[in-house]
Structure 1
């Protein structure tokens, strides 16, 4: 006795049927679930998309290989079979004459008609060509795969020409399959680093003939004329149109190319009049265009040739369906005919879904906005079908920030989902199984929260304020290199002004002699206090400037958390409470980037992970030693109660990279400021740190995050470029004289 499988093991026909249906199902899944990854940072969603993405190609390749393996059996007359075999369902479904029957030794000729569908599936849906940025760099491998798989499908087709009633329908589907596969290969190339650069550079431009122009025209005649201002931004234009104009100019950033000061000045002036919500919306739509180019077929579809190929492809699919419908299908099993109809109708449904997504895309909205007739048509369709309007207004990235608390992590206080007790148990098991870091991010200590309006407003206003100070390239570079020093120097200047004002009181007129006498009696104390504050501020500046970025980030993260919990019970005004929330959000977000997304900070991270691990070990040891004496939840008070008269490096040496008690010293220094001023300084420092991290992240890393739900750092990076900050601008603007003459 033994288990008898339902599918005969000697019959590869069943394997082919199962594989081709699985390939179709995966295509349907992909076209609808692939867009989820741009709006969700969930690891589960990414895992589902990744699994379908890999399986789709693998199953289609497998099915094509099975067809190629049965090449000699497709359409060949059936060999004699025993009476027992003749009684099987497979032999009962056999046809006669053309050898299109189905038995254990031959494959029906209808299988050859399925080969071009596999090319269509290998071309993939419009919503995904690459899962990650690195996939685009493999476009050459994909091109070789296209040639081999096209050869395999063609071999299956040509070997079944004799007695094949589906030749015409197969030709139609071959046209669609080859076009789709070629589109995917081209889009992979366009999304690669080389493809992005070549598409942006265009033809070499030598510019006006200097030798001829300098003889023909007088410089003084044109020197005062303004620069060419063909590129303009209109506030009244639809959001998609404005974002597309910005994308056309600022897409160079993603290829590490430089921008001219003309683009900077026009964009800076435009964004200076916007509110935070409008600015973030524009950036979001603009990043949507970048996502489409890098990860979807937008580069091939949204062109005149792309639209024409879409029409040809749709016509060929419908023609193949009609041709198959009218062909005599007697002699073929009902199952094979049903599978073929499923493939044809599936192709129609996928094409219709792709068409609806195309019509509701931002690219189509931009195209229609520039054409009054099409614009009216779009408005009519949107009014009639409200779901299209809702889809357009949907979010184009996750709009969430991930947060990680170092002290919460060391105390074993999970910030993610699930009961704390269960989370601690899972964390302990994960540590034993060496998968702790993965679970920490997905389930336990990392929590994802929505980007609040107050955070957007704070970031935008700070960037705009910094941009107003940057008048030339040197100043822009200086602002971009600040990671807290700018905020502390501002505080130092305010402290110096207070001291100067106290000195000026002594020189006032004799009419206020009594008041002067009182102030003079107090002035030594005022000056001494001011001098002490300045000295402490100088130490704070060194903490920001004279240490590595990762060390500075850890110092300020712990100090911010200690100050936050220390002030939690004290009453503060609304503005101070807002700055506290913002400071904590940015602090925990940047720590998350340092620990969980090190690729984002790879150029400035240094030995961040080593410092983080040593600091965590130091904190855990401290909290364990205090547990017996009852922390009572006041972990901040326990840390701040430690005497820090001597620098930790003097006591501990260089063996450990922990910055725990250095951060305690910093928190105590910040505590010298009153609550409102303290949180103004802390929030300003974190604004500068966020900007520093954003503009020192590689463009490829920013592009890579777009397929993972996006990151706030990417939004800030592009926003910085639009308000006039960033390091990819020309050092000097082009001469107005050349513009005027050339014009």
Structure 2
């Protein structure tokens, strides 16, 4: 008996140690019902804090996309943009399930914060242009969500024991409703700039003639005055010391309306009848004492104007500043910031009085986070507005004057946040080579083939737009703007590429005049056909290089290599615009691309390329030999150009063809491309379009018009 008892004790001891060992090795796992109970208890708190964190992300990161082509950043912003509305709306609906819980009376206080979150942040109103066209949906959401919030408060107010919550709750309701209404109004305003509203497009475009000409006259006068004041310097002065940054911002502000109208295709090319201010401005720009300042001022002016247009199309503060003057927009900021700040103070006083002693302390902490976070976000928004360009634009003062007390001191903040040398866009242009794409497709294995099909692997690369390319393009534009005759445009068919600039370059040299221009096929056919042919010509001229030319390049300096690099980069950029973005590329253009792609694939199946890895140069040389998959006229044109013995001269002509093609596409591509890509780092073609506006290209005028009085009248305008 005693032995049996001892045995049971030993077994119990061993069992206890085994249980302890099992407990140590396998800690208890939270059961699914317990996890569900925890989630039900803390669901609203987690959702509200999650909604707040999304607002923080959407305040500080969207502005980066103006200067970045990163797909990762764009995807994160898109997810956060969608989740912000979904989470706030879902949480508002879930609050209806907690209406009768007196232990969580502070949940009711969080209702107006969800309206505040639905109103979004100053830096992101719309993720894309399509969102601006859905303003009616947002208006319906505004009405429904406000009514739901009012229903939640009125239905559950009876369980609230702390009546001191009423005042801060009303203040947050005011702030949230204003923010939500601002977002809807911003979407309506931005959307109306892309469509004429209730009027027909023709009536709308016809009505803008007088206002655009008046605005343009004021703009060019301001630009001319700016150039005069910034040219009174010594030639050796540094560029950053010469340019009046604040004056440049004011000039950009004067031109934002006409840039927006031209960029969105809401204004036709007009006959200029306001005197010779455009011609005087161009002459002054051309005659600057520091020649390098010409393109630097022009490109920076274009950057600032496009940055302002981005703010108008995609941010809340951009629309507010565009539509309201400095005083009215400032009053709105003070109302929302003041209401939020007072609500925080009132809530703090109630807490110090012990009004929330019976509440869950975690709910009180969440309330402080929401209140303090709302105040901090408002302060950050105000700082962002002050450090932007908007407060310093002409006409911001309600008295009509450009200046206001403390303006220069405030602009020091802007110069600190956005210094003159800071880029306002990505500074990159995409590169696409059709031959290279076909080669990569043939070299790809099954895994890479699958990644290419789903879009995770792309043949599109990006390169920086070089200063030499910017200067070369602007010089060509400046020459055209300075010598432009209205009669040239009357005979210019804008539906076709003419190749005038290349003809002028050929006529300027003896070797160029000996070239048979009919073989080059600079005009005729579709835009896609011309682009494809010159894309092939450029590659052929690059890979077909003799030893004599290589020696001449080494002796001749950097000129030929610079123009060669420009030509290749512009060739692949224009191919990207036409082939991937569909600029001036209808069904006929797609047919041309399809034919060439089919011929390239057929050539790559030749036994000459059956062994080893395919190389771009060998494929190009194979086509240059006349084996059929390159068009005969492309090979013939390349051989004709190679008759020009000086590489620098030849590559300058090729670069001129691509510059004219880019300028042509900039005037003829759809507005959606310009506006859409402002939110993905920007496009170089958009800057080219704005440069043409800066140089007055959309305004037709005759050479003798500089001598005509300002009161000259024209009864009609010319659109081409």
Range of TM-score over shorter length: 0.7 to 0.9
Aligned residue in 2 for 1:690: 662
| C-alpha displacement of 1:230 | 5.0
Tell me the distance in 2 between the aligned counterparts of 1:636 and 1:563: 13
- Tell me which of 122, 131, 135 is aligned to 1:126: 122
Gap change, CA 1:335 and 1:202, over 3 Å in 2: farther
Structure 2 counterparts to residues 217-366 of structure 1, below 5 A: 231=219, 232-233=221-222, 234-235=225-226, 236=229, 238-253=247-262, 254-258=264-268, 261=272, 266-267=277-278, 269-274=280-285, 275-297=294-316, 298-301=318-321, 303=324, 304-327=327-350, 328-366=355-393
- Relative to the length of structure 2, the TM-score reads 0.78
CA contact (8 A) 1:640 1:668 kept: no
2:429 partner SS: strand
Tell me the distance in 1 between the aligned counterparts of 2:437 and 2:182: 47
- Relative to the length of structure 1, the TM-score reads 0.76
Gap change, CA 1:661 and 1:17, over 3 Å in 2: farther
CA contact (8 A) 1:256 1:699 kept: no
| C-alpha displacement of 1:719 | 1.1
Superposed CA offset, 1:251-286 (max 9, x none): 221252235625796455435544111111000100
Aligned residue in 2 for 1:431: 449
CA contact (8 A) 1:265 1:724 kept: no
| C-alpha displacement of 1:628 | 4.7
Gap change, CA 1:473 and 1:490, over 3 Å in 2: closer
Tell me the distance in 2 between the aligned counterparts of 1:12 and 1:190: 41
- Tell me which of 122, 136, 139 is aligned to 1:140: 136
Aligned residue in 2 for 1:409: 437
- Tell me which of 500, 505, 529 is aligned to 1:551: 529
Tell me the distance in 2 between the aligned counterparts of 1:203 and 1:50: 37
Tell me the distance in 2 between the aligned counterparts of 1:205 and 1:564: 47
Aligned residue in 2 for 1:388: 417
- Tell me which of 562, 574, 593 is aligned to 1:612: 593
Tell me the distance in 1 between the aligned counterparts of 2:700 and 2:188: 24
Gap change, CA 1:273 and 1:478, over 3 Å in 2: farther
CA contact (8 A) 1:695 1:726 kept: no
Gap change, CA 1:387 and 1:269, over 3 Å in 2: same
CA contact (8 A) 2:44 2:94 kept: yes
Tell me the distance in 1 between the aligned counterparts of 2:140 and 2:367: 28
1:672 partner SS: coil
| C-alpha displacement of 1:736 | 4.5
Superposed CA offset, 1:35-70 (max 9, x none): 1111111211111111111110111111111113x1
1:129 partner SS: coil
CA contact (8 A) 2:431 2:461 kept: yes
Residue-pair matches, total? 621
Q: Which moved more, 1:360-369 or 1:59-68?
A: 360-369
Q: Which moved more, 1:191-200 or 1:330-339?
A: 191-200
- Tell me which of 435, 454, 460 is aligned to 1:446: 460
Tell me the distance in 1 between the aligned counterparts of 2:43 and 2:700: 55
Does 2:479 match 1:483?
no
Superposed CA offset, 1:147-179 (max 9, x none): 000001111111232235311110010010000
Tell me the distance in 2 between the aligned counterparts of 1:264 and 1:43: 47
Superposed CA offset, 1:268-309 (max 9, x none): 543554411111100010011111111101112562332111
- Tell me which of 96, 99, 104 is aligned to 1:74: 99
- Tell me which of 518, 533, 538 is aligned to 1:538: 518
1:371 partner SS: coil
1:373 partner SS: coil
Tell me the distance in 1 between the aligned counterparts of 2:341 and 2:457: 51
Tell me the distance in 2 between the aligned counterparts of 1:305 and 1:136: 24
Q: Which moved more, 1:569-578 or 1:38-47?
A: 569-578
| C-alpha displacement of 1:141 | 1.0
CA contact (8 A) 2:519 2:633 kept: no
Tell me the distance in 2 between the aligned counterparts of 1:207 and 1:403: 41
- Tell me which of 599, 609, 624 is aligned to 1:627: 609
Aligned residue in 2 for 1:513: none
CA contact (8 A) 2:216 2:255 kept: no
Tell me the distance in 2 between the aligned counterparts of 1:729 and 1:708: 36
Q: Which moved more, 1:371-380 or 1:338-347?
A: 371-380
| C-alpha displacement of 1:112 | 1.1
Gap change, CA 1:389 and 1:292, over 3 Å in 2: closer
| C-alpha displacement of 1:636 | 5.8
Aligned residue in 2 for 1:377: 409
Gap change, CA 1:175 and 1:299, over 3 Å in 2: same
Superposed CA offset, 1:303-334 (max 9, x none): 23321110011111111111111111111111
CA contact (8 A) 1:480 1:691 kept: no
Q: Which moved more, 1:17-26 or 1:615-624?
A: 615-624
Q: Which moved more, 1:483-492 or 1:313-322?
A: 483-492
Aligned residue in 2 for 1:95: none
| Gapped regions of structure 1 (runs ≥ 5) | 77-99, 102-107, 209-225, 415-423, 500-529, 649-657
Aligned residue in 2 for 1:419: none
Tell me the distance in 2 between the aligned counterparts of 1:577 and 1:240: 36
Aligned residue in 2 for 1:517: none
Tell me the distance in 1 between the aligned counterparts of 2:657 and 2:631: 19
| C-alpha displacement of 1:677 | 3.0
Aligned residue in 2 for 1:44: 72
- Tell me which of 86, 111, 117 is aligned to 1:115: 111
2:110 partner SS: helix
Does 2:175 match 1:176?
yes
CA contact (8 A) 1:256 1:728 kept: no
Tell me the distance in 1 between the aligned counterparts of 2:277 and 2:495: 24
CA contact (8 A) 2:563 2:652 kept: yes
Aligned residue in 2 for 1:718: 690
CA contact (8 A) 1:249 1:263 kept: no
Gap change, CA 1:263 and 1:360, over 3 Å in 2: farther
Aligned residue in 1 for 2:644: 673
CA contact (8 A) 1:551 1:659 kept: no
2:492 partner SS: helix
| C-alpha displacement of 1:339 | 1.0
CA contact (8 A) 1:563 1:667 kept: yes
Gap change, CA 1:617 and 1:346, over 3 Å in 2: same
Tell me the distance in 1 between the aligned counterparts of 2:208 and 2:574: 42
Aligned residue in 2 for 1:460: 474
